[in-house]
Structure 1
Amino acid sequence: MSQTLTVNIKLKPTKEQEVVLKSMAETYIETVNQLISDMVDAKAMLKLTSKSVCAHLPSAVKNQVIKDAQSVFRKVKKSKYRVVPVLKKPYCTWNNQNYSFDFESISLPIMVDGKAKKTPIRAEMVDKHNRNFSLLNNKLGAVRITKKSDKWIAQIAVTIPTTEKTDTKVLGVDLGLKVPAVASTDCDKVRFFGNGRENKYMKRKFRAKRKELGQKKKLNAIKELNNKEQRWMKDKDHKVSREIVDFAKENNISVIRLEKLANIRQTARTSRKNNKNLHTWSFYRLALFIDYKAKLEGIKVEYVNPAYTSQTCPSCGSRNKAKDRAYSCSCGFNKHRDVVGAMNIRYAPVVDGKSQSACESI
C-alpha cells in the first residue's frame, strides 16, 4: 500500500528567474486552456506531441501541458460538455525525469535566452532533519511551481509506502467548535483535543480587525490579514490532527472513524452566536489532515453516517437531547455530549458500507 502526499518547498529565485517563471506559468495556463478549447470544439481527445504545441516552453513542459489538458477534457467529456472549466491560477509542471534537487536548490529546464536550459533555483531545503526533506527520500512524482502570497512554491508529489494494520481496534473522533475534537477508544479511553475558546477568540479578533480595515478601505491589508488567519487555522489543524494520530498510535488503533462531512454545517451542534465561526472553520481540512497522517502510520480511516451520534445513548440505545454540554439518559448513563458523539461514531454505519468490526481484537 502507498500514500501520495504533496510536499511544499519555498523557492528563492533570482529576479531574472522570477521573470522567467512568471512568463512560463502564464504561458503554461494559456496553452492548457487553448488545448482544452480545441478538444471541446473537436469533441475528441486530440493526439498531440510537444512539436505540435506552439508555446515558448521547454519540450518536457509542453508534454505536461498536453497531459493537463487531456485530464481536464476527460472530465468535460464525462459531464457531456455541460461544464468547460477555464484554469486561472498560473503554474508550470515538470515530470520527475526532468528535475533534480540537492541540499540547496531544485534544478529544472526553464527558458533562458530563448532556449531551454536546466537551471538551479535556490530552495529552502537546508535542514536534512526537516520532515519535508525526509519525505523526499521516497518515490517522487511531478513538480508544480506556482506563486502563493508573493512566494514561489515548488509542490512535489511524493508516494510513500505504508503498511495497513490488520487488527480491529477502532477510534471514534467527533469534530466540533467548542471542542475541536474528542476521541474515544474501544475501551472508552477519552481525550479532548484543541482549544475551542482560543479558536473563537482569535476568529473574533481577526473579524474585528477586518471590519476596522474595511472601514478604512485598506483592501490589500484585508487580503494579507485573511492569509494570516488561514495560516493560523491551518497550523491549528495540523497540530490537532498530529495529536489525534499520536493518540491512536499510543493505543494501538487500527481504524479511525470520522463523521462524513458533507452536511456538517447543517447538522453541527451550534448556537446562533457560533454561526460565523461554523461557516469559516474548515472541518474538511482537519479531517483531511487526520486522514493522510493516519495512513502514513498504517491506520485506516473510515467515514460514518453522523445521524443521531450525539443523541443516542451508547448504553441503552435510546435518544435524548443533551443539555448544554451534559448528556444524561434515564438508564443512568451520563457523559460529556461530545464524548457521546465520539463513542457512537465508533459504531455508526460506514458510508461506503465497508466497515471494520468496532471491537478489540483478541
Structure 2
Amino acid sequence: MSQTITVKIKLLPTKEQKSILRKMSQSYISTINMLVSEMVDEKKSTKKSSKDISAFLPSAVKNQAIKDAKSVFKKARKSKFTTVPVLKKPVCIWNNQNYSFNSTHISMPIMIKGKAKKTPIRALLVDKDNRNFELLKHKLGTLRITRKSGKWIAQISVTIPTDEGTDGKVMGVDLGLKVPAVAVTDDEKVRFFGNGRQNKYMKRKFRTERKALGKKKKSNAIRSLEDKEQRWMKDQDHKVSRAIVDFAKDNDISVIRVEQLANIRQTAKTSRKNEKNLHTWSFYRLSQFIEYKANLAGIKVEYVDPAYTSQTCPKCAGKNQAQDRKYKCKCGFEKHRDIIGAMNIRYAPVVDGNSQSA
C-alpha cells in the first residue's frame, strides 16, 4: 500500500528570482484560463503543444499548464459546462522530471533574460529533525510553487509506501480542551497528551495582547500576533499528534480510533470561560495530523460516533454524568472522565461502517 502526501518547503529566492517567479506564476494561471476558455467555446479538448503557446514560461512548464487545463476542461464538461472554473491564485508547476534538489537548494527551469535556464533557488529542505529531506527520498511527483502571506512555498507531491499492521490491536483517543488527548489501548495502557492548562493560559495571553493592540489601533501588529498564535496552535497539534502515534507504535497498535468531531462546536457543552478557547481550537486539524502521521507509520485511523462515549460505563453500560473530570457509576466503576471516553471510543460504531474488530 502507499500514501501520497505533500511536503511543504520554505523558499528563500533572491529579489530577481522573486520577480521571475511572480511573473511566471501569473503567466501559468493566465495560460490555463485561456486554454480552458478556448476548449469550452469549441466544446472539445485542445490539440495545442508548447510551441503554440506564447507565454513567459519554459516549454516544460507550458506542457504542464496544458495538462492542467485539460483536467479543468474535463470537470467543466462533466458538469455540462454549468460550472467553468476560473483559476485565480498564482501558481507554477513542474513535473518530476524537471526539478532536482540537494540539502540547500531546489533547481528548476525558470525564465532568465527570455530563455529557460535551470536555476537553483535556496530552500529550507533540512528541518530540525531532518524529516522533510527523509520524505523526499521516496517517489516524487509534481513541484508546485506558490506565494502565501508574502512567503514563497514549494510543495512537492511524494508517494510513500505504507504497511498496515495485521495484529488487530486497537487504541481509542479522546480529544478535549482541559486534556488535549487521552489514549487507551485494548490492553488498558493509558497515556495523557498535551497540557490543557498551559494552552488555556497562552490563549488568554494572546487575547489580552490583541485587545491592548486594538485600543492602540495597531492593525498590522494584531495580524502579526494572530499569525503567531496560529503557528503556536499548529505546533501544539503537531507535538500531540506525534506523541500519540509514537505511543501507538510503542504498543504495536494497528488501528487508532478517534471521535468524528465535525459538529463539536454545536454539540459540546462548555462553560463561558472555555467557550472562546473551544471556538478557536481546531480539533479537526489535530485529528488530521494524527491520521497523517499514523498512515506514515502504517497505522489505520478510524472515526467513530462520539455519542455518549464519556457517559457510558465500560463495565455495565450504564449512563452517568461525570462530575467535573471524575466519572463514577452506580456499579462502583470509577475513572477519569476522559479515560472513560477513550475506552468507549475503542468499541464505538465506526462512521463509515468499515472497521477492524477491537
What TM-score do you get using the length of structure 2 for normalisation?
0.92
1:6-27: CA deviation from partner (whole Å, max 9, x where unpaired):
2222222111111101111122
Are 1:258 and 2:258 matched, yes or no? yes
Helix, strand or coil: the match of 2:346?
A: helix
SS in 2 for 1:307: coil
Question: How much does 1:100 deviate?
Answer: 0.8
Are residue 307 (structure 1) and residue 329 (structure 2) matched? no
Aligned to 1:103: 103
8 A Cα contact 2:126 2:132, kept in partner: no
Post-superposition CA distance 1:226-245 (Å, at most 9, x none): 21111111111111001000
Given that residues 128 and 134 in structure 1 are in contact (C-alpha distance below 8 angstroms), is that contact kept between their aligned partners in structure 2?
A: no
Ranges in structure 2 where 5+ consecutive residues have no aligned partner: none
Kept in 2, the 8 Å contact 1:3–1:292? The answer is no
- Contact kept, 8 Å, 1:176 with 1:268, in 2: the verdict is no
The equivalent of 2:167 in structure 1 is 167
Match of 1:148 in 2: 148
Secondary structure of the 2:178 match is coil
Stretches of structure 1 lacking an aligned partner (at least 5 in a row): none
Does the CA contact (< 8 Å) of 2:23 and 2:56 recur in 1?
no
Equivalent residue pairs, number: 358
Contact 2:11/2:124, CA 8 A, preserved across alignment: yes
Moved more, 72-81 or 61-70: 72-81
Alpha-carbon distance between aligned partners in 2 of 1:82 and 1:278, rounded to the nearest angstrom: 39
Question: Could you tell me how far apart the structure 1 residues matched to 2:80 and 2:203 are?
Answer: 42
The letter for the 2-side match of 1:156 is: I
Cα displacement (A) at 1:249: 1.0
* Partner residue in 2 for 1:298: 298
Structure 1 residues 49, 313: closer, same or farther in 2, change over 3 A?
A: farther
Residue range with higher mean Cα deviation, 316-325 or 29-38: 29-38
How far 1:116 sits from its partner (Å)?
Answer: 1.4
What's the % identity of the aligned pairs?
73
2:59, 2:259 → 1: CA distance? 46
> How far off its partner does 1:41 sit?
5.1
Q: Please give the alpha-carbon distance, in whole angstroms, between the structure 2 residues aligned to 1:306 and 1:79.
A: 36
1:208 is matched with which residue?
A: 208
Q: Secondary structure at the match of 2:243?
A: helix
> Does residue 90 of structure 2 align to residue 90 of structure 1?
yes
In the TM superposition, residue 161 of structure 1 has moved relative to its aligned partner by 1.0
Counterpart of 1:266, as a letter, is Q
Q: CA RMSD in A?
A: 2.2
| Deviation of 1:108 (Å) | 0.5
Instruction: Name which of structure 1's ranges 246-255 and 125-134 shifts more when overlaid on structure 2.
Output: 125-134
Cα distance in 2 for residues equivalent to 1:45 and 1:179: 54
Per-residue deviation at 1:69?
Answer: 3.5
> How much has 1:42 moved relative to structure 2?
5.3
Question: Secondary structure in 1 aligned to 2:186?
Answer: coil
Question: What's the offset of the Cα at 1:269?
Answer: 4.0
Q: Following TM superposition, by how much is the alpha carbon of 1:319 offset from its aligned partner in structure 2, in angstroms?
A: 1.6
